[in-house]
Structure 1
Amino acid sequence: MRAPTGDQYELACDTPAGQARVTITQLAAGIRSYSVGGIDVTEPYDESLATPSGCGIVLVPWPNRVANATWWWRDESGSVSEQKLAVTEPARGNAIHGLLRYTPYLLVMRTKNSVTLSATVYPQPGYPFLLDTSVRYTLTADGLMVEHTVTNAGAKDAPVAIGAHPYLKIGGVPTEDLVLQLEATTHFEVDERMNVVGEHPVHGTEFDLRNGRRVGDLQLDDGFGGVMHRGGRAEHSLTAPDGRSVVLWADTSYGYVQAFTHRSFATLPAGEVAVAIEPMTAPADALNSSQGLSWLATGETMKTAWGIEPRLV
């Protein structure tokens, strides 16, 4: 039987903590599994399943939500037009997670420890732009590096943001007992449909996760800004009581992050929690706010990098 997520690309590498193994899917170029020495460091799901809750997928040309699946485009001539996207979050009336969630990527290059996949965003209702995109996954003894490239292949300036949707864990440790730390200084307030209505400093609030908080004490599906970078990268993490951790790092392109404590993840028993830490180059509804949004001229290319570093020894 063919996998619902298409072809499966297996990567392997030796590390001090044992062999690292990663599976990348053809559909949405997603991370289906990542383990080190037999310990899962991302939430895995079986090859027979469709991608649960956006697990590990690429988010292009926007991450998160576009309110009411509608935004206004001012073109190079100054003309303004309403752009109506497909409603892909029907319960809330929004468009969510970009345009490649159900796109099969093409294989560009593959080695034992790396794979490069590509996909095209074609002009369509609500997004009249042409983009060539690629993602390269490279597995090393230090971790998994993810490099994105987006090129405007069309004749009009194109709005672009990039994100990803990995769920992190430390196999064998209840995720509720892990400590979540986010290097972010602001929090986005949302309405009942999860659309942004404000941005506020986290200092002195329940959303200040710079020193970490136990996952079991959190209820999050929240965006954060003001991500702090040191030495050219930000680090967000999950840490076990024994000191082992999994770090999601991101380059300076990623000024935003979403944290999601998911208590109905399809592959987990009821009540157990999965945690997504989602690096984003722009926050929710950036097509409307323009916050963090990149406008690529014809032929211009945007490159970003993020990765996952298991620190298990």
Structure 2
Amino acid sequence: MRASTGEQFVLTRSTPFGPAEAIITEVAASIRTLRINGVDLTQPYPEHVPPPFGCGIVLVPWPNRIEDGLWQHDGQPQQLVLSEPKLHNAIHGLLVHTAYWMVSRTDDSVTLAASVFPERGYPFALETQVTYQLVDDGLTVTHEIRNEGATPAPAAIGTHPFFQIGDVPTKDLTLTVHAASRFPVDERLNVSAEVPVEGRFDLRAGQKVETLKLDDAFGDVTPIDQVTATLTAPDGRTVSLWQDENFPYVQVFTTPNFPVGDNLTVMNALEPDTTPPESRTLAIAIEPMTAPADAFNSGQSLRWIEPEQTWTASWGIRYTV
């Protein structure tokens, strides 16, 4: 039977910490598995279900939400398909269900590609690539977007990895985010402002994951050695998100309902709240973004790619022992 996530690209590499393995999916170019020396650094899920909560998928040409799926281009309204009908928004771009094709592959890397064709609400043509490369301390991810149209095209990039240190309960990890601002949202999870972090939203000194309830974007990021966010185990091990200068934002999302186990059904993966309690776990997504939610309307950090121009941006996952 064909996997719901398509072909599975298995990457392997020897590292100073032990053997590393990553599994990248054909559909949505998702990180389905990343582990070093048997320790899972991302939340795995079975190949026969769609990625729960969008786990590990690539978000292009916009991450997060566009309110009502509506924006303006050259004075003309553009109406995107409402891919989040319950909240009446367009969410996570146009490639979340797309099968990528393989461009190149080695033992420890794979480059996948997908096209964005002009469609309702987005009358632009893009060619996209994403390269996953295992390295000694984790994973490097490089995105390329080329404008194949005749006019400048708006674009932003995001991804949706869930982080963990697999042999430590996620509730016992401490989250640090080097960000000085956040983006509050309304009841439909649309951005309403950008404000300084304070109280439970100030994660610069670290807070236990078990105390957090977040679905918030953060800005005014001040990376330390490119690292913007870190999960730290009680024994001092860390898994971190690093971002280059193209990724000045990060979204943090926590859920107690991430489905686990090999007996998940497609329906339970799509509707995780229906999963039995014994098949759920606390999980945390730490999502690099080149622009915040609704950037097509605000213009904040939105990249306009000129015809025949290619935009390259990188981020990665770093493990320390």
Q: TM-score, normalised by structure 2?
A: 0.93
Query: What is residue 31 of structure 2 aligned with on the other side?
Result: 31
Q: Shift of the alpha carbon at 1:228?
A: 1.1
Q: Shift of the alpha carbon at 1:211?
A: 1.1
SS at match of 2:53: helix
User: Matches of 1:237 and 1:22 in 2, distance apart?
Assistant: 20
The one-letter code sitting in structure 1 at the alignment partner of 2:18 is: G
Match of 2:318 among 300, 309, 312: 309
Q: Shift of the alpha carbon at 1:235?
A: 2.7
Q: Alignment RMSD, CA only?
A: 1.1
Query: What is residue 42 of structure 1 aligned with on the other side?
Result: 42
User: Matches of 1:98 and 1:25 in 2, distance apart?
Assistant: 18
Percent identical residues: 51
User: Matches of 1:28 and 1:67 in 2, distance apart?
Assistant: 23
**Any residues of structure 2 matched to 1:64-103 within 5 Å, and which?**
64-74=64-74, 80-103=75-98
Q: How many aligned residue pairs are there?
A: 305
Determine whether 1:225 maps to 2:234.
Answer: no
User: Matches of 1:230 and 1:216 in 2, distance apart?
Assistant: 25
SS at match of 1:23: strand
User: Matches of 1:7 and 1:39 in 2, distance apart?
Assistant: 23
SS at match of 2:33: strand
Q: Shift of the alpha carbon at 1:41?
A: 0.5
Question: Does the Cα contact within 8 Å between 1:70 and 1:82 map onto a contact in 2?
Answer: yes
User: Matches of 1:286 and 1:8 in 2, distance apart?
Assistant: 33
Q: Shift of the alpha carbon at 1:230?
A: 4.3
Query: What is residue 241 of structure 2 aligned with on the other side?
Result: 248
Determine whether 1:138 maps to 2:133.
Answer: yes
Q: Shift of the alpha carbon at 1:205?
A: 2.6
User: Matches of 1:294 and 1:276 in 2, distance apart?
Assistant: 24
User: Matches of 2:279 and 2:9 in 1, distance apart?
Assistant: 30
User: Matches of 1:68 and 1:205 in 2, distance apart?
Assistant: 31
SS at match of 1:196: coil
- Alpha-carbon displacement from aligned partner over 1:143-189 (angstroms, at most 9, x marks no partner): 10000000110011110000110000001211011011111110101
Higher helix share: 2
Query: What is residue 280 of structure 1 aligned with on the other side?
Result: 289
Q: Shift of the alpha carbon at 1:209?
A: 0.4
Query: What is residue 181 of structure 2 aligned with on the other side?
Result: 186
- Alpha-carbon displacement from aligned partner over 1:8-39 (angstroms, at most 9, x marks no partner): 00000112221110000000111000111111
Q: Shift of the alpha carbon at 1:297?
A: 1.1
Q: TM-score, normalised by structure 1?
A: 0.95
Question: Does the Cα contact within 8 Å between 1:234 and 1:252 map onto a contact in 2?
Answer: no
Query: What is residue 273 of structure 2 aligned with on the other side?
Result: none
> Which runs of no fewer than 5 residues in structure 2 stay unpaired?
262-277
Deviating runs (4+, > 6 A) in structure 1? Answer: none
- Alpha-carbon displacement from aligned partner over 1:271-312 (angstroms, at most 9, x marks no partner): 63100000000000101100010011111111000000111x
> Which runs of no fewer than 5 residues in structure 1 stay unpaired?
75-79
Query: What is residue 153 of structure 1 aligned with on the other side?
Result: 148
